Structure 1
Amino acid sequence: MQLPLLALAMASFGIGTTEFVIMGLLPEVAADLGVTIPAAGMLVTGYALGVVIGAPIVAIITNPLPRKLTLMVLASVFVLGNLLCAIAPDYWLLMGARVVTAFCHGAFFGIGAVVAASLVPPKQRASAIALMFAGLTLANVLGVPLGTALGQALGWRSTFWAVVLIGIVAVSAIAIWVPRDIPHSAGNILREFGVLKRPQVAITMLISMFASANLFVVFTYIAPMLRDVTGLSPHAVTYVLLLFGVGITIGNILGGKLADWRLMPSLMGMFLALAVILVAMVFALPSPTLAVIAVFVWSIVVFAVVAPIQTRVVDAAVEAPNLASTLNQGAFNLGNAAGAWIGGVAITFGASYADLPWMGALLSVGALGLCMASQAMERRNGGLATIPDVACEEC
């Protein structure tokens, strides 16, 4: 079953490059379109809100469709959205194109995670999900730094043209390698929304929001932060982004293994570590060597939480895994939007780029508190999904 997972990873590579590469190109996009860097940072927020809005809509529309066809359609929308980004003549049309691209994001990762988990034995589900998300981490190892370098050399639009080509390859891989007979019960998806009444599902999605907000409040502005605070050249920032990608690749693999071992204790330990690392980053930023070390360590831990959270929400919403997994991607991207917005507002009102890790540390502590509440609730109820079935009583 490695080829189907590889096809999903290829698509996640393209989607991840589109989502994250804009951070490395904020100065270039802002200069070309005649807007401020915080305004350009809102392109991150716009993308994330597109995921949030699109996730439930796309989940409803695609619910009756076979899973393979759904994944192919979503990947095709991704290609179209990036084509529109490449030819967008001004800021607002670029924003609209980003939103169109984002509409496929939540549903693709949500449905793709469930499909990946269905292709392997139960004890390997978190690792399979992590393998699919490896495309997302590889996007940060190769896609973001190479896309940043390409955009700096040939203009930021060239990066989006390259992503269009990646998307075409991903659609072809899904068509060839993903099996047709993927189990899927369409049921009544509107009734399945009742699964959101479960406290554990809601808490896990809040954890996703805090986890992504603590990432994006810093990562959205990492290029100007490393240039202005640390004093790195644009060329050196590209190498730091490459190192960041290596770190999140390691973290993704580590997170999948830890989730298959002891999910919640591992998750709580990682959020505690994130808070400590981000505080240390504040003091490391003025030194190029310490700043690079801090970014690398942070990158490992910050992405290790992804597979455990995605596995947790699927387990908590066992009767509606496709919907819950998709909506969790929406929650994650709502956190993306919140993190980028918080950082942008702080900078606009006088905060320095060096202050942003403090905000990330506070968000990590909030996620840790939610994890502790979820764990306590699970122990009190004698299990994770013990509340009576509210999702599929009549499916």
Structure 2
Amino acid sequence: SCTCSGSNHPTGCRCPSETTQLTGIPINQCECRSSADPRAGSACPAYCVNGQVNSSCVCDSNNASFPYTTCYRDKACTINLINQSNLTCPCLRTGDPRAGLGQCPAYCIKGYTNTTCACDSGSTYYPVTQCNIDKLCITDLIHQSITNCPCMTKNDPRSESVCKPSDPDPTNPIIPDPSEKDPETEQEQGSGSKQDGEKTFNMIWIIFIVIGILAIAAIVTVKKYLHLKDMIILKRSNKNPSLHIKISETPHQSFASERSFRTASESHRGSLNESRNVSLSSDFSDSADSGSRRDADQEDEEEFVPTEFQLKMYMKYQKFLNPIEEGRSSLESINTGGIKEDESPKSENSNSSDELKNKDNQIKDIKSSE
């Protein structure tokens, strides 16, 4: 087979070994060479130039001034920059897709310049020169002139001869730094939070004190109530359970020694008198007991004093005993001989029945007066 040339390159010809002889030979006959191919930039892609790498160029494998590895890295930073680290591909001054995503800082925005942003060299709205001045006013204000950096209203590190607090430049508004906080504001916030904490602490102590006072008052009240209850129970236990009017000797008891001297009719009259006296004593005792129980309930914390009702009952009972005592004296005179032995029992029985009727009437009067 023949050797290909620029003027004769039939199908199947052999490509020349010298790269200089490749001129004019189509790339379908002889492929592009990685270095020193005279067809580069025409039939073959141009070789990459340092600092001008683009997606269409190819790296020259034998270029000492722009090594192949460096060219390949720069080509990757151009073609696939968003997926490259900032160590492999340094951040660009403009148009970097990684800006603000962590690999590269965000570009500065006018009016919001801070120490971490990067000035965008391709921005016409916020030129790089103005961006750099604004950054110096933040990072190195003490060495800047009032022309580039107007005086601040407070906390300006420059001397009073340069910046007077009363002469701010109205034409150049101060550009605040959002990343920096006012020290006085932080101090005021700290003092405010401290005051809030002290108020909360004081309120908690006040609540504890009020609860303690209420608990002590409740304990004292309960103790007083229990003491009063014990005193009432003690006084009740020391009182007499009921009122008993003591009568040393009833009329029928005084007749007990004389029963052996009475006749049959006299014994009969004595038994009737005794039954009447017993019933009268029991009625009076019951009424006295009921009165004493009522008085005991009403006078829990006082010493026993007989009521007016009890005194009246006692007087009536004494008045009732007088005729009985008179009857006893008359009976004693009869037993000693004042009455004849042959007196009929019938008249004696009639007299005793009259006396019993009178006593019944007296008992009814006493009960009605109750």
Higher relative contact order (CA 8 A, sep 6+): 1
TM-score using structure 2 length: 0.21
Which has a greater percent of helix? 1
TM-score using structure 1 length: 0.20
